[in-house]
């Protein structure tokens, strides 16, 4: 049992000074004052002295088994590590494949998700990858979503030279299977769509929404900040009621923040924009012949860095910036009230900032992952 005293709670809505009781892996109670625990031997009381206390981050786009490979076998990105995620305040993650669906398998993806769960991170997965027809573990997308615990949807790609030039009818087929499988198993049943730099942008997606009965909220286009034109289309999609996702980038905090602020002008309370890291996904630079001439991979640290930049450099209210990585992704993943929030009966995934808005404490399901800026929880083979 842990009692966090004098926390300045952002749930993500600002509640002000509160005490938080953690019992096991959940938040048992939040109140202005929780007294009477001082003489209970099992109770650890921690005075946060007014530090900002927020939900653990949800990253809906993480290449947990590593991405890449576009520059040959040596360019396959290493697998994600639990300590790196937890050290950056990420307590819930959605893992997926990318370009490579040959040397990166769905079996490995699911196994990695289970490993993360053992290591303290709540991990989910998507079936499929950039290619079409979509590879699955159990004959089709619907069976994967229904029968495999970690699977909550499907990943695909469009408007990209690495994709299979997905058509609207093919996109509808994937979405229908994911939707039906999700309904029958109580899961999100989403289609995450990698959107590349191709000229069609969201055209196949708009056609799929227009010509099908699949709810618009089940289509999640990602990398929507790639260009101004694409982001403009994405904002139109959001205005129709759909969720859109923007990729954080450490090397372009200003550019990403500018697009987020542009979106907030349209939707001041932010009902439909999420932000993800694309962590451990490859970041390539291409020449005019689409040959790779530069290569690195994304760090999960960009999520916290962008939230911090929005608040400290752009004067965005913390409660608004947090919606990008807490309640909105929880809504997409069908985890509302369980993750991405600080409320009674929610899982005790909690980040505490120091005065400079660095991560001073991180709790994952009530366990201490970061303590006084020091990482306490790591994967089995992390040094």
Helix (H) or strand (E) holding 145: helix 141-147
DSSP state of 250: G
- Going from the C-alpha of 104 to that of each of 61, 163, 300, 375, the distances in angstroms are 16, 16, 20, 29
Angle formed at CA 283 by CA 278 and CA 286, multiple of 5 degrees: 145
Q: 294-311: b or e for each residue (b if 16 or more CB lie within 10 Å)?
A: ebebbbbbbbbbbbbbbb
- Cβ proximity of 58 and 330 under 8 Å: yes
DSSP 216-236: GGGEEEE-TTSSHHHHHHHHH
| Catalytic, out of 8, 59, 100, 278 | 278
Count of residues for the chain? 383
Compute the distance between CA of residue 261 and CA of residue 54 in angstroms, rounded to an integer.
Answer: 21
Active site residue 278: yes
> Minimal CA–CA distance to 378: which of 121, 125, 123?
121
Compute the distance between CA of residue 167 and CA of residue 180 in angstroms, rounded to an integer.
Answer: 20
- Cβ proximity of 256 and 249 under 8 Å: yes
The token duo for 281 is: 């996904």
- Cβ proximity of 350 and 342 under 8 Å: yes
Compute the distance between CA of residue 18 and CA of residue 28 in angstroms, rounded to an integer.
Answer: 13
Residues involved in catalysis: 278
């Amino acid at each position: 049992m842990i009692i966090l005293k004098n926390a300045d709670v952002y749930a993500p809505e600002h509640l002000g000074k509160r005490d938080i009781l953690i019992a096991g892996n959940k938040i048992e109670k939040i109140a202005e004052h929780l007294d009477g625990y001082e003489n209970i031997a099992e109770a650890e009381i921690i005075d946060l002295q007014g530090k900002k206390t927020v939900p653990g981050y949800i990253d809906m786009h993480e290449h947990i088994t590593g991405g890449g490979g576009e520059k040959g076998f040596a360019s396959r990105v290493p697998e994600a590590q639990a300590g790196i995620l937890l050290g950056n305040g990420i307590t819930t993650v959605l893992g997926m494949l990318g370009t490579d669906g040959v040397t990166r398998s769905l079996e490995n993806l699911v196994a990695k998700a289970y490993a993360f769960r053992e290591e303290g991170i709540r991990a989910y997965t998507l079936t499929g990858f950039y290619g079409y027809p979509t590879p699955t573990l159990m004959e089709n997308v619907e069976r994967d979503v229904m029968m495999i615990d970690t699977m909550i949807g499907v990943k695909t790609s469009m408007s990209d030279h690495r994709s299979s030039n997905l058509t609207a009818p093919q996109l509808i087929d994937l979405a229908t299977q994911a939707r039906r499988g999700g309904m029958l198993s109580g899961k999100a049943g989403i289609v995450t769509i990698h959107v590349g730099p191709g000229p069609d942008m969201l055209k196949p997606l708009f056609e799929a929404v227009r010509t099908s009965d699949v709810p618009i909220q089940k289509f999640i286009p990602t990398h929507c900040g790639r260009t101004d034109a694409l982001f403009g289309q994405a904002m139109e999609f959001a205005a129709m009621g759909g969720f859109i996702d923007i990729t954080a980038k450490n090397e372009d905090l200003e550019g990403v923040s500018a697009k987020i602020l542009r979106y907030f002008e349209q939707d001041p309370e932010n009902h439909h924009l999420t932000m993800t890291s694309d962590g451990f996904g490859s970041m390539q630079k291409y020449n005019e012949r689409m040959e790779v001439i530069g290569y690195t991979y994304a760090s999960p640290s960009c999520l916290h860095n962008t939230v911090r930049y929005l608040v400290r450099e752009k004067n965005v209210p913390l409660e608004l910036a947090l919606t990008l990585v807490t309640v909105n992704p929880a809504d997409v993943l069908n985890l509302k009230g369980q993750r991405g929030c600080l409320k009674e009966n929610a899982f005790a995934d909690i980040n505490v900032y120091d005065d400079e808005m660095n991560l001073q404490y991180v709790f994952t399901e009530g366990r201490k992952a970061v303590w006084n800026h020091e990482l306490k929880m790591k994967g089995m083979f992390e040094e």
